Amino acid sequence: MKWRATRPDHPVERWMQSVPTWLVATLAIIALLTLKVLAAAPEIQQELAPQIKEQHWQVLSTLLSDVESIAAVIAVILYIKGAPERRAQRHYDAWRVIDMAAAANMSVSYARYQALEELHRDGRSLQGLEASNANLAEIELPQADLHHCNLSMANLRQANLSGANLEGADLRAADLQYANLRGANLQGSNLQGANLRNAELWEVNWWDADLSEAELWWAEIHIEDLDGAHLCRTIMPDGQTLNRDCSDQKMHD
């Protein structure tokens, strides 16, 4: 399983998660009862908090006048405290869906599609993702961390991968037609036989990427931008075939 425990990003969240629930509830009750006493004692109000207007104290007194109101406030506080645990469980469930789809070699999985986008929206890394042969057409993963992932033979038509980190990714025979890869990092990635027709490829880092037998018909890129990439039987946007690095590939083979 690729799931990794998620740590709260905000310091307040980390503190809330580290404090026992019983202690949070106790402190909340003490704070609310203290406010209730203050709201009913005008002489103390003037001494401790003269900047708070009388009508504000009256509103507070009304809100805290019964047990139900206090219980509701405590429930909200406890709900907020449980947010990091709920988010971690959500991420665990998302990775479980992704791993199950990969284990079953499922091509089409709407649940996996949604899980990937949700993890990305929450700022989670998708490093090492296994999604070979997956149908991920039109998926939204801009700026995603996908380095060393396996997307070989995946359907990534019209996918938004702009600015994504795909360093060392396996994209062999992937369908990337009309995909947005502007600013992506493809250093050391394997794109042998990939279909990049009409893809947006401006400002991509191609260093040590293998584009052998890849198709770039009508892709948005200049040939000089491919310096550093391995080109062998690679079809360029204008239809010409480049064999610049075929001798190097034979040596590697």
Residue spans per domain, the chain: 11-81, 126-253
Is this prediction's pTM over 0.85? no
Instruction: Give CA angle at 198 (181, 180), nearest 5°.
Output: 20
**Under 8 Å between Cβ of 134 and 112:** yes
Element (H, E) at 31: helix 21-39
Q: Which residue has the tokens 């079809």?
A: 235
As assigned by CATH, the class of the 126-253 domain is mainly beta
Q: Is the pLDDT of residue 209 over 50?
A: yes
Q: Is the pLDDT of residue 132 over 70?
A: yes
Instruction: Return the SS3 of 222.
Output: coil
Q: Which residue has the tokens 């990091």?
A: 84
**pLDDT for residue 230:** 97
For residues 57-85, average pLDDT: 64
More confident call, 128 vs 249: 128
Measured between alpha carbons, how far is 112 from 83 in angstroms, rounded to an integer?
23
Measured between alpha carbons, how far is 38 from 42 in angstroms, rounded to an integer?
7
More confident call, 35 vs 180: 180
For residues 14-29, average pLDDT: 66
Of the spans 67-76, 96-105, 174-183, which averages the highest pLDDT? 174-183
Element (H, E) at 86: helix 83-103
Closest among 78, 119, 63 to 96, alpha carbons compared: 119
**pLDDT for residue 5:** 45
**pLDDT for residue 27:** 73
pLDDT tens digit sequence for 217-251 = 999 999 899 999 999 999 999 999 999 999 765 43
Element (H, E) at 18: helix 11-18
User: End-to-end distance of the chain based on CA atoms, in angstroms?
Assistant: 32
Percent of the chain with pLDDT over 70: 68
